[in-house]
Amino acid sequence: MEDEERYSISNTLRGMCARARRFTVQEVRDHLLEVGERFGEEERERILNTGNQNGKTVLHCACQLRESPEIAAMLLGFGAKINATTRRGHTALIFASGRGRSDTVIFLLQNGANPLIITVTGDTAESMAVGKVNDEALGALRDARASWGRDHGGEEASHLDFRKSADALKAQEEHCRTCRLCQEEMRRRKPLPPESLEAGERRRALETSIASAADGDGLTEVL
């Protein structure tokens, strides 16, 4: 299969996971079964673990945007990699923690999610979870953080720190150009330089196209 076709199918699956109100878990499962019948199980697994331009996989979208861990369990059964990272260092566990998906956080930890990964901005699953998940999920994250290094060859061996990764820093810079929340945070910390008319027009056009694609259904989170 050509990379372009693999990416296209993967993007369709990310969109299905993002649109929880339109696509049930069974519909996503049926689509994956169809992909397996057409291309084989090995290729289906590659598709599942193909990220978008930011490295975001189908599992990342499911854990960020779905309330229940049911679809995550199904994706893992089809071969999704639980500790896959985006270019900026986000994992399914970090996405679930940041969105307050307590049940999904617990499920991921029970199935081997690494709680020690650090994003380019210095966030971890635990730091993202504070004030968002319930006490049980937060306790599970803290317990996992304490035990993970011991059980997996030492804490240092388990750390993936993206704060000094050249590609992660580049991806963060690209993200900040189009993320309104990041721009607001940067303005609070330090005023942004004046934006040229041409750059402003490009940014507004991009924001409009993203908003149109989302269709009010959270699809912007697939980016």
- Radius of gyration of the CA atoms of the chain, in A: 18
pLDDT of the residue at 204? 46
| Percent of the chain predicted with pLDDT > 70 | 78
User: What is the 8-class DSSP label of residue 134?
Assistant: -
Judge whether residue 207 has pLDDT over 80. no
**Mean pLDDT for all residues in the chain:** 84
Token duo for residue 152: 């997996």
* 58-74 per-position pLDDT tens digit: 999 999 999 999 999 99
Confidence of residue 195 (pLDDT cuts 50, 70, 90): very low
The least confident of 30-34, 156-160, 208-212 is: 208-212
Which residues, at least 6 apart from 216, have a Cβ–Cβ distance to it below 8 Å?
Answer: none
Confidence of residue 154 (pLDDT cuts 50, 70, 90): low
Nearest alpha carbon to residue 125 among 110, 109, 111 = 109
Q: What is the pTM of this model?
A: 0.80
CA distances from 73 to 39, 66, 92, 194 (A): 22, 12, 12, 47
* 93-142 per-position pLDDT tens digit: 999 999 999 999 999 999 999 999 999 999 999 999 999 999 999 999 99
Longest dimension (CA), the chain: 54
CA distances from 194 to 187, 189, 191 (A): 12, 16, 9
Average pLDDT over every residue of 47-65? 96
Judge whether residue 205 has pLDDT over 60. no
pLDDT of the residue at 121? 93
